[in-house]
Each structure stands twice: as C-alpha cells, then as structure tokens.
Amino acid sequence: MSINIKDEILKLKEERNAIILAHYYVNDELQEIADYVGDSYFLSKVGRESNADIIVFCGVKFMAESAKILSPNKRVFLPSEKALCGMALMAKKDSIEKIKEEHPKAKVVCYVNSSSEVKAVSDVCCTSSSALNIVKNIESDEIIFVPDRNLGSYVQEQLPYKKVILWDGCCHIHDRVTKEQVLAAKEKYGNDVKVLVHPECRKEVRDLADFIGSTGGMIKYVSSQKTDKFLVVTDIGILYKLKEENPNKKFFTLDMACPSMKIMTLEDVYVCLRDLKNEIFVDEEVQKEAYKALNNMHRLNK
C-alpha cells in the first residue's frame, strides 16, 4: 500500500508542479519522498527560491506559514491541520507590543517557531542556526527575544555584550531534558560518546555538550568527526538523515519525539496533493509585515 501511495504522490507532484519540503523531525517515510529535507532556515530558503507552483510542507504550521509569507504567489499546503507547534502559541501579538513599549530602543528578534501575527510585529526572525548571526549583526544592543527562553539564553551567553530580554516560552520536548538524563546516558554508552545538544535545551544540558547547534549543524558536525559514537539530544527524526549520511557511526538518543511532527503520514500527503487540501492562507497586511522580518533574517544571516 505504501509503495502505491508513494508512486501516486510522485505522479501528482509532477502533474501539479509541486515541491515537497520536509523537516528533519518528521517521520522517515516523509523524509524519503521529499524533494528537500532540512532545518527551518534551509527549508525557508529552498521554498523561496523554488520555481514550483505548489509547496507541500511536511512540518508544523508555522513553517508552512513562513513559506507562504516568503512566497505569496505560490500555493502552500500543510498535509495535516493537526500539526501545530506548542511554542508558537506561547507568544501573542498584543503582549509583544506591550513589551516593545516598555523597551522602546530594543529590537524584537523572533524565533521562527511563532505565529505570523508575532512575526509581523517583530524586527527580524531567526532560526536556531541563524540566531547568533542575527543578534550579532542587528543594529541594537538591546534585544527582545521571543518566544524561546532557552535559545535566547544561549544567544545571551555567546554574545554577552548584548542585553537580551527573554520571553518565557519553550519547546516542551527539549525543555524537559535534564542533566541527569544526559549523564546517565554517557555512563551507559561510554564517556567517549560525543554529546550533541539543540539550543532549545536548558543551560544545564547545554553545559554538557560537545556541540550545540541546529539540526543542520549537528549533521555537519557528525560528518566532520572521526569519532563514531554520538548522543543526539534532540528529536529522534534527525536519525534518518544522520544514519543515511554516516552509516558506520552509532547514534544514541533520549527518545525525544515531538507529537506534532510525527502526526503527519504518507496518506496525508497523498490526499493533500490529490484534493489540494489544507491550503495555508495569511492575511495580506500580516503577510507584508511578517515578510519584512523574514526577509531581514536572510539579509542579516552573514
């Protein structure tokens, strides 16, 4: 059945001049049929530069919204309407505007894991791979960083000459990891295991890392290392690409899995392409303002 669905997806994709983008965290079967697999920054760039008429985004809603904002003339679809990011719901437009009034000289740097409305009242967006460059290059020493307090605190550590005002949001999957879990895993798998940590994790976990970075950064790091054992402290979806590119290396995890990223299936993608179901729309005024913030991300990430 899966093989037939895959064939139908490929056929429909060609008929509709569509492109399928998949985040590293989605199920293996979706990464397998995608035209491009990557982290949020890479996928936003690919979607923007593509000549396709239709973008099918295998990820969560904020990613599909970002693709629509950057490519308003393309039709963007999210195969499952249930694929929502909890962190993206933690910051609201009105609250951002209020804190901007309290800090009039500050620039708002908004993690892409946020709603279109929040992006629209931000100065620039960032991803976990581009956050340091964005904050470093933005022309302000005072930053309001929303919504992830953990990524924001990591940025503050790396750029101590900037004043970073943190929002109280987080990714529950990364935030719940403890240093005790990491230490126990090191004891189990050997102290020679390299620890890779996503910056959405708490400081106590980041402090145990050999490498801190985005999913794309982790994959590059593993490929550059001669060692063959890695503890990967992020969503298990990344293992598909890590194993594909490094078949002779061993990967261990803490069994972290985002339910929203795993909810999408091949059948969802097939139905989406067949019926053009679950199209993403963004209010025109919101799109114009949010575009500026996303465009600034690409401009400042140098």
Q: List the domain boundaries for the chain.
A: 2-84+262-281, 87-170+285-300, 173-257
Q: Fold identical between 2-84+262-281 and 87-170+285-300?
A: yes
pLDDT category of residue 41 using cuts at 50, 70 and 90: confident
Burial classification of residue 96, based on how many CB atoms lie within 10 Å of its CB (0-12 exposed, 13-18 middle, 19 or more buried): buried
Q: What is the mean pLDDT of the chain?
A: 96
Provide mean pLDDT across the span 251-277: 97
pLDDT in tens, 138-158: 999 999 999 999 999 999 999
CATH superfamily of 173-257: NadA-like (3.40.50.10800)
- Give the single-character DSSP code of 148: B
Cα 6 to chain center, whole Å? 25
Contact 198, 214 (CB under 8 A): yes
- 283: nearest Cα among 159, 124, 117: 117
Crossing angle of helices 284-300 and 61-70, in 10° steps, is: 90
> Which residues are paired to 164 by β-bridges?
143
Domain 87-170+285-300 sits in CATH 3.40.50.720: no
CATH 2.60.40.420 fits 2-84+262-281, yes or no: no
Mean pLDDT along residues 161-181: 98
Q: What per-residue confidence (pLDDT) applies to 302?
A: 82
Q: Rounded mean pLDDT of 179-205?
A: 98
Share of residues in the chain with pLDDT > 90 (%): 96
* Helices and strands per DSSP (H, E), number in the chain: 16, 12
At residue 1, the pLDDT reads 44
Cβ-proximal residues to 292 (8 Å cutoff; 6+ apart), any chain: none
Q: In this model, does residue 2 exceed pLDDT 60? A: no
Task: Provide the token pair at 191.
Answer: 């102290």
